[in-house]
Structure 1
Amino acid sequence: MATLIRGTLVHTPSLGEVKILQDYLLGIDDKGFINFLENASSDAAQTLLSESGAPPTIIPPGSFILPTFCDLHLHAPQFLYQGTGLHLPLMEWLNEYAFKAEEKIDADPLLARKVYTRLADRLSENGTGAVLLFGTIKEETNIILAECMRQTGIRAFVGKLSMDQCSRPTYVEASASAAIDSVKSFILRCNTLEGHLPLHQRLIEPVLTPRFVPTCSDELLSQLGRLSTENNLRIQSHMAEAHDQVEWVRQQRNMEDIDVFDKHGLLTPRTIQAHCTFLDQPMFNRVVTRGTAIAHCPLSNAYFSAEPFPLREALDTGVRVGLGTDIAGGYDVSIMSTMRHAVTVSRMREGGRIMADSRERSKDGREVTNKPLSVDWKEALYLATRGGAEALGLQSGVFRPGAPFDAQQINIIENTTKLAVGPLDFLDGENIRILQELSPEAIEKWFCLGDVRNRIKMWIQGKVVLLKP
């Protein structure tokens, strides 16, 4: 037994279920996996405590341990200009800002390392323990991205962009074959970064990344599909994101982009597609059949998609869904903000459903029984933790023996002063007692109001990667 932790654990083993494990003893082996989890008063826990050569780490009252967040969609080079030009339609915004910023990063390795180091630090500060990253087209710049994430110690799935058409003349790969040669070289170099380490210490992984259908020829997509199948590689892209993008694909390919991806073998259980706001029910059924997961990015959808993502319908269909910040289409690197936006958008959709049902009843007097469309904070917390981990094929996001210990310590009551922390500091009296008890109400308050001030520690694979004084 390498490490023992005693305190309150909070996790979401299934959609809509929040479990608060009061006064539990958790053991972590020397490889960073959970190998013991029981109530601290149990006979087994008491025996383990008595036989242990060292006292456990105590998580004090008013603090709890939560799985780390997963960010399933983030454009690393766009961290450089987040919060810019969001008044434009997607395709115009890409040409005006995104491609230029990515080209600038590719041209300046020192700038790339500076931006990516700060991005990695921000992710750690915000509790993101696993992130799926879009990079740029230049191989070397993506190696810098992988190195920066590795230095911070979080799990990073790094995608070198593949795009051979419909971009700036100076920011596009020469041909499909050149793009494939480049991505093969990147995969080899990325794997070499940690190839000498035992499997449990390998936190960086390359991902095939066709940017989206408009920038990829059929030849390139077909070769990427074969490469994924032959080498069991993950895939990420954008699908059915925005009205102008969807229309572009229809005119360019004379089909929906889900059909383009499927045709080339890019809808797989190893695939995560971002956005998917324009998928209908038969398309969701196909996504489930293929095993593909979706990265829901509610903030950027509000700016660029013209339609909100039908989250409730996707979940009810059985689609694997996690959350993404979509820097810089979204301007906030915090998955906590993304959780809140997911709830807000779903509540607005539910309001629209209620009003539409009311209009139908007043029209002909018949009863309308459409299903509710909203999600609550418990479901959003699941999407940010276990849901995202499942989409990535990880065993994390939940506390159970055999899972890697990827966790964050949240402090809502300061242990010495007994005062609420950070944005919760207005609470006192009876409200303080509610927080000390760590009830569902207290967790919901943190969900709605908490920020980086409440996060004081983070572990990845049992190793501390963030520790505040």
Structure 2
Amino acid sequence: MEERPSYERHDVLLQGDFVQAPTLGKIDIFHNYLLRTNNLGYIDHFAEASHPTSVAIIDEEKDHRKPQVHQAGSSLLPTFCDLHLHAPQFLYQGTGLHLPLMQWLDEYAFKAEERLDADAELAQNVYKKLAATLVENGTGAVLLFGTIKTETNLILARAMQDAGIRAYVGKLSMDISSRPTYKEASPEAALIAAQDFCKRCHEEVSTVDGHQRLVEPVLTPRFVPTCSNDLLLGLGRLAAEQNLRIQSHMAESHDQVQWVRAERKAEDMDVFAQHSLLTPRTVQAHCTFLSPSELSSLAKTGTAVAHCPLSNAYFSARPFRLREALAAGVPVGLGTDIAGGYAIDIMSAMRQAVVVSRMREGGRVMARDSAKRGSKATDREEGKDVDQEELKDEPLSIDWKEALYLATTGGAVALGLPQGIGTFAVGVPFDAQCIELYRDNAVGIRDVGAVTFFDDPPPQGLTEDMIEKWWCLGDTRNRCGVWVQGRHISMAGMAMLPR
């Protein structure tokens, strides 16, 4: 086994401003707080720096170390969660997006995945770069689709563990394929391989201390068109027997949905349900073709949805009913869907989720107004694709605060991360990123990257308006530190000055 890099563990002691989105639409700003972790990476103190206990901690630590103090203009925010990313497709990210889904899979996805399965050195290079890029973009937890070959997926698991990222790695299960050289020999062979991968993936981290075990296996039937009923049935049983996570694609695109209807005489969701693959441990990507009533049924199973707005714009004939899913109680997080989406940063996914939802809201308003006027034909064209459920008075759009929740706390809940991740509280693992909004560069101008402020900072310090500005304009230049389970994993320099 390849020797792992070692690192020393230290308690984290940080002083500064902290931001979180604990519930949908709510933003908390904690001004000048002190946070400390224990040597396992869990927060054991979080209070105002002026609180007597905080003062005592700082006084107690003064002979050994001082708290790292983040300057005004920077803050700490929970890391992002990416609920849907095809690791081998990072190889050709940003190409081939002109094709419909089923054709794109044949001409790009399957070929790239098969190529990595045949070249371990290439796989190692791709996955190490992928891990570094995720950290650079503030992603602390990710749900990954891999390839068919067990050894290639173990390379992926090692790359994520070594980088310090929470990663859920899925070896693809597929016994049907339009590419004859890229499939498993039989349902039985696929099930044996899935079970073997799960066992070996657990063994990969078995020698690591429990709090540092960041990688887990995930059962991954690619989607209904590549999986026989026998394979799906076996995976459902295996998931139940070993309490394993499950991921797949469901009701993603028009051509895919039509294929399932023609070949299986059923809907995607019914096929997964019949084989016990919709569980509280399941994340299904996309779900753009689920109706509001189907989303309500999905909520009862506890299944989460990975919302990938950019990928949906390319490969689905309709957008995901995000507002309806949230109202129904479906756990929802965001996914980049590399390479069906070309942007690996969750910042882009947040912005796109808001844009898509606002376009849906525009369609709802136009359809409702046309319906009230009793208009037909041309007057109703703008709302012709809006269902009757969408003619109600409830808005369909989301705002930036709700998107930030989906990217952090909501994603952590949907992914089943340790309780509390996405927030700052005692007993919660410390997963965070440092965001620098501005520094004094010139008289009257304060900026970092594309985020620029011309006015003096407000007396109260960090505000929601300032966070929104970063949300709209920020990029990797604003990120100056990333921690997962209390370990500082980014290579970026830390911008710290005394207050």
Match of 2:461 among 433, 437, 440: 437
Q: 1:253 aligns to what?
A: 264
Match of 1:446 among 461, 470, 474: 470
Aligned counterparts of 1:436 and 1:45: Cα–Cα separation in 2: 21
Q: 1:465 aligns to what?
A: 489
CA contact 2:79–2:433 (8 Å) conserved in 1: yes
Runs of 5+ consecutive residues of structure 1 not aligned to the other structure: none
Does 2:325 match 1:318? no
Q: Secondary structure at the match of 2:184?
A: coil
What is the CA distance between 1:397 and its match in structure 2?
A: 1.1
Match of 1:378 among 377, 382, 401: 401
Q: 1:110 aligns to what?
A: 121
Q: 2:358 aligns to what?
A: 347
Does 2:446 match 1:423? no
CA contact 1:164–1:217 (8 Å) conserved in 2: yes
Aligned counterparts of 1:49 and 1:167: Cα–Cα separation in 2: 63
Query: Letter of the aligned partner of 1:424 in structure 2?
Result: V
Q: CA RMSD in A?
A: 1.5
1:352-374 Cα shifts (integer Å, max 9, x gaps): 1111112122228xxx7521000
What is the CA distance between 1:73 and its match in structure 2?
A: 0.1
Query: Letter of the aligned partner of 1:212 in structure 2?
Result: F
1:227-306 aligned at under 5 Å gives the runs 227-306=238-317
Q: Secondary structure at the match of 2:370?
A: helix
Aligned counterparts of 2:170 and 2:439: Cα–Cα separation in 1: 40
> 1:415/1:60 Cα in 2 relative to 1: closer, same or farther (>3 Å)?
farther
Match of 1:409 among 414, 434, 448: 434
Query: Letter of the aligned partner of 1:139 in structure 2?
Result: T
Q: 2:138 aligns to what?
A: 127
Q: Secondary structure at the match of 2:277?
A: coil
CA contact 1:293–1:321 (8 Å) conserved in 2: yes
Aligned counterparts of 2:457 and 2:46: Cα–Cα separation in 1: 27
Q: 1:51 aligns to what?
A: 60
Query: Letter of the aligned partner of 1:234 in structure 2?
Result: R
Identity in percent: 59
Q: Secondary structure at the match of 1:9?
A: strand
Does 2:425 match 1:400? yes
Does 2:372 match 1:361? yes
Q: 1:328 aligns to what?
A: 339
Q: 2:387 aligns to what?
A: none
What is the CA distance between 1:419 and its match in structure 2?
A: 2.8
Aligned counterparts of 1:422 and 1:463: Cα–Cα separation in 2: 26
1:163-202 aligned at under 5 Å gives the runs 163-202=174-213
Q: Secondary structure at the match of 1:13?
A: coil
Q: 2:11 aligns to what?
A: 2
Aligned counterparts of 1:125 and 1:414: Cα–Cα separation in 2: 20
What is the CA distance between 1:436 and its match in structure 2?
A: 8.8
Match of 2:160 among 143, 149, 155: 149
TM-score by length of 2: 0.90
Q: Secondary structure at the match of 2:95?
A: coil
Query: Letter of the aligned partner of 2:314 in structure 1?
Result: Y
Aligned counterparts of 1:276 and 1:369: Cα–Cα separation in 2: 22
CA contact 1:414–1:421 (8 Å) conserved in 2: yes
CA contact 1:325–1:332 (8 Å) conserved in 2: yes
TM-score by length of 1: 0.96
Q: 1:32 aligns to what?
A: 41
CA contact 2:440–2:447 (8 Å) conserved in 1: no
1:35-74 Cα shifts (integer Å, max 9, x gaps): 1111112222222222234321111100000000000000
Q: 2:236 aligns to what?
A: 225
Aligned counterparts of 2:440 and 2:65: Cα–Cα separation in 1: 22
Aligned counterparts of 1:467 and 1:157: Cα–Cα separation in 2: 23
CA contact 1:62–1:436 (8 Å) conserved in 2: no
Aligned counterparts of 1:35 and 1:230: Cα–Cα separation in 2: 36
Query: Letter of the aligned partner of 1:421 in structure 2?
Result: V
What is the CA distance between 1:101 and its match in structure 2?
A: 0.9
Q: 2:7 aligns to what?
A: none
What is the CA distance between 1:311 and its match in structure 2?
A: 0.3
What is the CA distance between 1:325 and its match in structure 2?
A: 0.1
Query: Letter of the aligned partner of 1:240 in structure 2?
Result: A
Q: Secondary structure at the match of 1:14?
A: coil
Aligned counterparts of 1:293 and 1:335: Cα–Cα separation in 2: 18
Query: Letter of the aligned partner of 2:448 in structure 1?
Result: V
CA contact 1:435–1:442 (8 Å) conserved in 2: no
Q: 2:22 aligns to what?
A: 13
Aligned counterparts of 2:294 and 2:427: Cα–Cα separation in 1: 35
